[in-house]
Structure 1
């Protein structure tokens, strides 16, 4: 039974990894879809919800579910589409998203590739930390992710990059709180079953 569940988990992980790659490829190949997605991403609700995906991501890593990890990545990527275009978006929001669009559409230098690879590398480090049941290492990686995103945003977006400060801080605080509470409950439950 465990072997069957492992195969199902891996099959679902491959499916969600493929869907994620397909989504990224569609964004890259379709300027119309890319612009449509970024218009919806002006809705700051998507900015607040995105960091919260790290909670199920961490839970999936703790439970050692590849499917859960890759499903969360897929939903995180597509969450920019979930909200309608706002009636009005602040100038800082527009400026920041314009910078992100230019960054993504601009030439891909070796330095830019290395900086961009920090995203999957840091998510892999977060998953590995929780897979190994290291709460404090996981929290350290979460803080690294939030600080790195903020530094990148300010370095490339200037003052407009500060527009992510509140969503990032709120998301980081909620993630840490939920992960600490969840981790302690799961560890207690595990001890009771031993």
Structure 2
């Protein structure tokens, strides 16, 4: 009950912190270079898809603060791990592509393609907010396939470097979301 009282203010606070992070990342080259140097550590690639789990949980529980905190953590997780000593050329090339994409010119095409990210996250939140698990799971699959497709289509061969983290993250997320919902439904049936 206490957390419900602070749900909206916390959501606004972490929404603001997310915007501050994005502004700093897009306007401070030193910060972006520092963050992407750490993002070369592929542990960040493996944990990032797992943020779908708390995102779905908080949407299911209708917690704006939980969703907002999860998005902030997802974005900042790129630099949670130390810079690796060795990095494959494929990973280097892909991350250089991502930096060039983010810092390059933004035309209407790039804006439309990139807008798929917030649109798909909104669709995911709405699906779980409305307790529609099948649509939610479908959106999770769409997000993973979209990221993999975008990576290969736009980054070429280096885009294949995300396949194993993305596929393993997708399988874990779909499995745990499905399991969690079924478990929650069993508990609900027992109490009724």
Please classify the TM superposition score into its range, dividing by the shorter chain length. over 0.9
* Cα distance in structure 1, aligned partners of 2:122 and 2:186: 26
Q: Please, which runs of 5 or more residues in structure 2 have no aligned partner?
A: none
| Deviation of the 1:191 alpha carbon | 3.0
Aligned pairs, number: 192
| Deviation of the 1:186 alpha carbon | 1.6
Q: The residue matched to 1:85 in structure 2 has which SS? A: coil
* TM-score under structure 2 length normalisation: 0.97
- Residue equivalent to 1:161: 159
* Cα distance in structure 1, aligned partners of 2:76 and 2:3: 27
Q: The residue matched to 1:52 in structure 2 has which SS? A: helix
- Residue equivalent to 1:141: 139
* Cα distance in structure 1, aligned partners of 2:161 and 2:183: 35
Residue 81 of structure 2 corresponds to residue 115 of structure 1: no
Residue 171 of structure 2 corresponds to residue 173 of structure 1: yes
Structure 1 stretches of at least 4 aligned residues deviating more than 6 Å after TM superposition: none
| Deviation of the 1:128 alpha carbon | 0.6
* Cα distance in structure 2, aligned partners of 1:191 and 1:21: 41
| Deviation of the 1:6 alpha carbon | 3.6
| Deviation of the 1:72 alpha carbon | 0.4
Residue 9 of structure 2 corresponds to residue 11 of structure 1: yes
> Please, which of 87, 90, 103 is the counterpart of residue 89 of structure 1?
87
* Cα distance in structure 2, aligned partners of 1:6 and 1:92: 45
Q: 1:63-74 residue pairs with structure 2 within 5 A? A: 63-74=61-72
1:56-105 deviations in Å (ceiling 9; x for gaps): 10000111111111100000000011000000000000000000000001
Q: Please, which runs of 5 or more residues in structure 1 have no aligned partner?
A: none
- Residue equivalent to 1:26: 24
- Residue equivalent to 2:124: 126
| Deviation of the 1:190 alpha carbon | 2.6
- Residue equivalent to 2:181: 183
